[in-house]
Structure 1
Amino acid sequence: MVSSTIILVFCLVAFAAIHSFMASLPFKRRLVRVLGSKADTLYMPVFSIIAVITISPLVYLLIKNPGPILYIIPSPWRWLMVGVQLIAALVAPRAILDAPHRFKIRSQLSAPKTPEAGPLNIRGIYRWVRDPFLFTGLIIIWFTPFMTVNLLVIYILSTIYLYLGSLHWETRLVTQFGDEYREYQKRVHRIIPHSGAYR
């Protein structure tokens, strides 16, 4: 069981390393130099495909070697938890739809307060929570209605990775949008949805 856990952790670390490298600014600068104006169009589809490919071994091994069962939530509560997971999965894509400018490579690489950087333009789900990816990701993870030893290890490490990734992402946003984003940080929580929409 220990060996299967180690292999799973290795798969997660490998996925995280590839994911972080492809999300890094040096990689994106290189991509822009090679692909030019096509970089923004091709980046997200290719990034998503590679993410699916690199996470697949981890998912497969978790299914094959889940480890001892820690708990299973009984009905009807398990279906309530699954329903919450499905809602979170449906909400997650809004993060891209409500702020497409945040994910454009040229905007990320540009200097703050330039036309290329674009406006912060808080709208949609971002009026309620600063990092909807982290928010929905944690819900999908921790509302799983059963838990095994290996799953718990992967979930804890994934939570740490997601949170550190969120911190790193926001340092970029502060660089990109400056004081406007700092003011936004004061008024809207990173994970916990804001009681009143940001205006």
Structure 2
Amino acid sequence: MSRFIAFIYGLASYILAAVTLLYAIGFVSGLVVPKTIDTGISVPIAEAIIVNLFLMSVFALQHSVMARKPFKKWWTQFVPESIERSTYVLFSSLALILLFWQWRPIPAVVWHVDNPQIAAAVMGLSLAGWLIVLTSTFLINHFELFGLEQVSSNFASRPMQPAGFRTPLYYKFVRHPLYLGFIIAFWATPTMTVGHLLFAAVTTAYILVGIMLEEHDLIALFGDDYRRYKERVPMLMPWRKPD
């Protein structure tokens, strides 16, 4: 029964994460969803910046701290290891939902593409970024990344297979295609407002910090295999020399 409950918990966390990611696409791109990055309550610009920085900091701290090995070691004293990843995914979704809900728009325009064809191409580039994000998760292990494989293995009393080092498709050209996809999705917009620019700039800075933390963990996990990969393959830009 406890394994079944853990599976349902993991499945619910996965579904919430999927819905949250779909909303994020609409939120950033200004498509379909009721509240986007450029709509909502108008407040003085100083208040908007403070609130928005706080919301992004909440997500960044949750996302980074809960992903670190020392935290996981402490956290799994209270949360079963089988649902540790699902809990991480759940908290990440809740932090994003809070951001969507409380985000304060800053509608002053930084740039706007008037030509409809060029605007459509820029929007297409943004959606291509989101597609890179999605496909990157499947190239590694989508269901493990979102905690579903862990609860499924626990439910079936099947041991988890240890992670192996591999570099499929995008990973042959850049070490972090998932993050590259986010950067493309955030910056490619036909209308860049000050609020959107703040979001794109801060999240890009957070991504760069997150990469440094993640690569430290990957070197600890894969050792020389990852060091050689790091020497051979660029971090984000495929046409640049490796970092």
Q: Which runs of 5+ in 1 are unaligned?
A: 106-115
2:197 matches 1:152: yes
Q: Which residue of 2 aligns with 1:26?
A: 70
- Summarize deviations over 1:75-94 as a string: whole Å, max 9, x none: 11111111112122122123
State the secondary structure of the residue aligned to 2:166: coil
2:175 matches 1:135: no
Normalised TM-score (structure 2)? 0.65
1:48 Cα offset (Å): 3.1
- Summarize deviations over 1:37-65 as a string: whole Å, max 9, x none: 513xx614x43333232123333444x52
Aligned residues: 182
State the secondary structure of the residue aligned to 1:92: helix
Normalised TM-score (structure 1)? 0.78
Residues 1:119 and 1:54: Cα distance change in structure 2 (over 3 Å): closer
Residues 1:14 and 1:88: Cα distance change in structure 2 (over 3 Å): same
Of all paired residues, the percent bearing the same amino acid is 23
Q: Which residue of 1 aligns with 2:5?
A: none
- RMSD across aligned positions (CA): 2.8
Q: Which runs of 5+ in 2 are unaligned?
A: 1-44, 148-160
State the secondary structure of the residue aligned to 2:66: helix
Say if 2:132 and 2:178, in contact at 8 Å, map to a contact too.
Answer: no
Query: Where do 1:68-107 residues align within 5 Å?
Result: 68-74=108-114, 75-100=116-141, 103=145
1:162 Cα offset (Å): 0.6
1:128 Cα offset (Å): 2.0
C-alpha distance in 2 between matches for 1:132 and 1:32: 30
C-alpha distance in 1 between matches for 2:101 and 2:120: 24
Say if 1:66 and 1:150, in contact at 8 Å, map to a contact too.
Answer: yes
